Amino acid sequence: MADSLDIGVLASGSGTNLQAIIDAAESGRVHARVRCVISDVPGAQALERAKRHGICAEAVERKDFESKADFEERIVEMLIEHGVKLVCLAGYMRIVGRTVLQAFPDRIINIHPALLPSFPGLEGQRQALDYGVKVAGCTVHFVDEKTDHGPIIRQAAVEVREDDTVETLKARILEQEHRIYPEAIELIAQGKLTLEGRRVRIADR
DSSP 36-71: EEEESSTT-HHHHHHHHTT-EEEE--GGGSSSHHHH
CB distance 158 to 169 below 8 Å: yes
Residue 73 phi/psi, 5-degree rounding, is -60, -40
Handedness of CA 105, 106, 110, 114 (dihedral sign): positive
Instruction: Check 31, 53, 112, 178 and give the catalytic one.
Output: 112
Asked if 112 is an active-site residue, the reply is yes
CB distance 11 to 90 below 8 Å: yes
Closest alpha carbon to 153 in 122, 189, 121: 189
What are the catalytic residues? Answer: 112
